[in-house]
Chain A
Amino acid sequence: DAGITQSPRHKVTETGTPVTLRCHQTENHRYMYWYRQDPGHGLRLIHYSYGVKDTDKGEVSDGYSVSRSKTEDFLLTLESATSSQTSVYFCAISQGLAGETGELFFGEGSRLTVL
């Protein structure tokens, strides 16, 4: 199994509070992604990174920011959490771009509840 860990795995927070989810990899893969999964929707890309300090927006990036200061860590931050951000968040990594040549490896997911 690819070495990807997400933390925390579960979090309950209140509206308006900041939240940071961490994704850590030991595979030295170039690309890292944050997705959210909600009922009635497929996985949707929030942000991705193509290298240290290189990030770009996905299709549902509003309300989220990311940072990648080291190859192995990719942080997802909700500056001021809202109830619409209640979801399961998955981190994924790939050697090549996921839309082209990169097989994806997923973390175990982080379940976030915003009250």
Chain B
Amino acid sequence: KNEVEQSPQNLTAQEGEFITINCSYSVGISALHWLQQHPGGGIVSLFMLSSGKKKHGRLIATINIQEKHSSLHITASHPRDSAVYICAVGTSGSRLTFGEGTQLTVNP
């Protein structure tokens, strides 16, 4: 079993919809990252969090340490949000364990 499980693997939405991507992990962590990988391949850090909730524009990330679960929400989705979203958990030091990603497609 992977230490990091993302769901769904693939998600198709209509423009304007509210989107949720989930990340569950099985070990105690010190930090959780949400990354976005563009269709061209570049990877951008969206959030790094260890507790609570963070918001940036239309993106919201939450984490529940007790339940070992994090969610990434996108409000008022747009076709430019189409990308792969990757969850990664940090257990200690340099070590990050990455999920396999969620492919999001937002249709106009």
Contact = CB atoms under 8 A, between A and B. Distances in A.
B35 A42 contact: no
B98 to A, nearest CB: 3
Interface in B50-76: none
B38 to A, nearest CB: 10
Given A42-B4, A103-B45, A33 B31 contact: no
A99 B86 CA distance: 15
B101 A45 contact: no
A99 B35 contact: no
Interface SS of B by simple majority: strand
Could you say which interface size class chain A belongs to?
A: 20 to 34
B91 interface: yes
Contacts of A45: 94-96
Interface in A59-103: 59, 88, 90, 92, 97-103
B88 A108 contact: no
Nearest to B43: A106
B41 A109 contact: yes
Nearest to B95: A99
B15 interface: no
Given A99-B30, A99-B93, 17 more contacts: A40-B100, A42-B98, A42-B101, A43-B86, A43-B88, A45-B95, A90-B43, A99-B91, A99-B94, A100-B90, A100-B92, A100-B93, A101-B48, A104-B33, A104-B35, A104-B48, A108-B42
